[in-house]
Amino acid sequence: MLRLVQIRSLEKFWLFLLVLIPVVFTGLAWWAVQNTQFQKVNTEFHHLALANEKALQHRMDSYAQALLGGKGFFQGSTHVTRHDWREYTLALNVSDNFPGINGIGLIVNVPKHEVNAFKNFVETSENITFNVRPKGKYDDYYVIYYIEPIEINREAIGLNIAFEANRRSAANLAMQTGMPAITKRILLVQDVEQTPGFLLLLPVDGQYVFAPPLKDEFSAWIYAPFIAKNFMENLTQSQGRDFRLEVFDEYASPDTLIFDSEPGHQEKHNSLFTVEKTVEIMQQKWLLRWSSTETFEANNIGQAPFFVLLFGSIFTMLVCLFLFLT
């Protein structure tokens, strides 16, 4: 009797083992296939993010070249009038050749005690009304002197950008380093929608800017205002289709968000693939975040793991059926 019980216990053990083996192998095969596929798609997603980052860097660099061209225009002239600057920007064809840029202009560093004299000089020499604003507590006023196209930037003429910390800090950084610098996230006065933007500033020696009697009096910057959503759209074909791009000032926060390619469209989608990277753009740190879309995941995550699990389950059931019948 005891012998019979032992034999039956041994039979149950072997039956259990025969069922367990295909279950374990199915699970391992499913995990291996899924992991391999995930790593492959993750690598592809990183390549898309890298291409998008390079496109962003390239676009910013090309726009900095436009400012360098403006600096060269001043340095190659004895004096650049407002009319000269307008003709120069028209020749650049800013709207077509530099999509996303809101214009190109000139900012002048005017000592506080010289503001009234500067205003009078501009109004007298150009026969225009020139209002410097707002009044600032700092010793220097950074006044927007020229900006073209004037039609969409009229509100910016005469603005003292030193009134606001982000604008002032970037202008000082550019002047100290002699290199192009961008501001942190700001709202442009000429943007009726008041969406996030930034300024790109390049220092230029005042001796190239003014005719006597102001020559050598002031330093200056060639600058360009950007509305972020216009500047950063369509960096690559994958943007918006395969991934959502978010750009922040240094760290992720609603208050530091500069750009979102899919605002509010993916709040309920938990992306399977995400890449975050801090990059330096024109002496400013941006946090870039790429998140995969449902479209990308559907197109790239195949059904191989599912079929491994399906066929493994069928095989396991067949083994169970065979054992039951025998």
Q: State what percent of residues in the chain have pLDDT above 90.
A: 50
Q: Provide the pLDDT for residue 47.
A: 95
State mean pLDDT over 96-107. 89
For residue 98, which amino acid is it?
Answer: F
pLDDT at 212: 47
Tokens of 162: 């030193």
Question: Which range, of 68-72, 206-210, 283-287, averages the lowest pLDDT?
Answer: 206-210
Domain 64-231 in this protein, CATH class: alpha beta
Q: Whole-number mean pLDDT of the chain?
A: 83
Is the pLDDT at 114 greater than 90? The verdict is no
pLDDT of residue 193: 82
Distance CA(245)–CA(247), nearest Å, equals: 7
Please say whether the beta carbons of 163 and 136 come within 8 A. Answer: yes
SS3 string, 210-231, reads CCCCCCCCCCEEEEEEEEHHHH
Q: In the predicted model, is pLDDT for residue 203 greater than 60?
A: yes
- Cis before 213 (ω within 30): yes
**For position 300, what pLDDT does the model report?**
78
Give the pLDDT of residue 188: 87
| Beta strand segments in the chain, E | 104-111, 140-148, 181-182, 186-187, 196-204, 220-227, 243-249, 257-260, 274-281, 284-292
Q: What is the pLDDT of residue 42?
A: 84
pLDDT at 298 (0 to 100) = 85
pLDDT score recorded for residue 179: 94
**Spatial CA neighbour of 88 closest among 108, 107, 66, 60:** 66
pLDDT at 219: 81
pLDDT at 215 over 50: no
186-197, pLDDT tens digit by residue? 988 877 788 899
Identify the residue with better confidence: 199 or 35: 199
CA distances from residue 315 to 16, 18, 22, 312 in whole angstroms, order as listed: 15, 12, 7, 5
pLDDT in tens, 37-48: 778 888 899 999
The answer to whether residue 325 scores a pLDDT higher than 60 is no
- Span 169-174, average pLDDT: 96
The per-residue pLDDT for 27 is 64
Q: What is the pLDDT of residues 231-270, one digit of tens each?
A: 999 999 999 899 999 999 999 999 999 999 988 665 668 8
Average pLDDT in the 56-62 region?
94
For the residues 124-147, what does the mean pLDDT come to? 89
Average pLDDT over residues 73-77: 86
Question: What is the spatial distance between Cα 294 and Cα 177, in angstroms, rounded to a whole number?
Answer: 44
**The whole model's pTM is what?**
0.81
Looking at residue 194, its pLDDT comes to 86
Residues 1-9 have a mean pLDDT of 52
pLDDT band at 67 (very low <50, low <70, confident <90, very high): very high
Within 10 Å of residue 61's Cβ, how many Cβ atoms?
12
The DSSP call for residue 285 is E
